[in-house]
Amino acid sequence: MNMHTKKERKLEKLLGSLPQKEVSEGFSERVMHAIQGRRPGMPVFSEVKKWVVLGLACLFLAAVFLSDLPLLPQLEITQLAGYRRVELVFYSPSQSPKTVAVAGDFSNWDYVEMKEIGDDYWQVTVQVKPGRYQYAFVIDGEQWLPDPLSPRKVADGFGGFNSVLVVNGFALGSSVE
């Protein structure tokens, strides 16, 4: 016995257990007459809905073309086109620095002063083009430290390490917008 016959028998048994209702004589003819009896000029609900949608679309287009709003978005090209904003942070409760700066490839190794925004918490936002940059924090104008939050480090050529920042890529230890 295959599975198909089992299912058919189960269905027949289930249908046989349902209560049987007798319909009045001529029921089928009345239903068919009601379906065919629709007047040809009388629109069906779906056709009315189509006309309502079409009317609303026309009103929307008229409002767009008659208003002063631009049809296409206006793009402002600035001198900073192609640059990304990168936020660098430094936190060191153990050192309690008086000043913190960052220096790197992106600044030709010139110091970029950071702003203290909390106890031993320093921050700066720099504009950089996409690319790979080495950088380090400069504590109190003397001590150079790699970013403790960045796992990417390379030798600096002076016996220490620089951190590596990748812009338009994965940049751990910094937030890139």
**What is the mean predicted confidence (pLDDT) over 86-109?**
90
pLDDT digits (tens, 9 = 90+) for 101-141: 999 999 999 999 999 998 888 999 999 888 899 999 999 99
Q: Domain 84-176, what fold?
A: Immunoglobulin-like (2.60.40)
pLDDT in tens, 8-66: 888 888 888 888 778 788 888 888 888 776 665 555 667 788 888 888 988 887 776 77
Q: Domain-by-domain residue ranges, the chain?
A: 84-176
- 174 or 17: which leads in pLDDT: 17
Exposure string over 63-72, b if 16+ CB within 10 A, otherwise e: eeeeeeeeee
pTM: 0.51
Looking at residue 154, its pLDDT comes to: 94
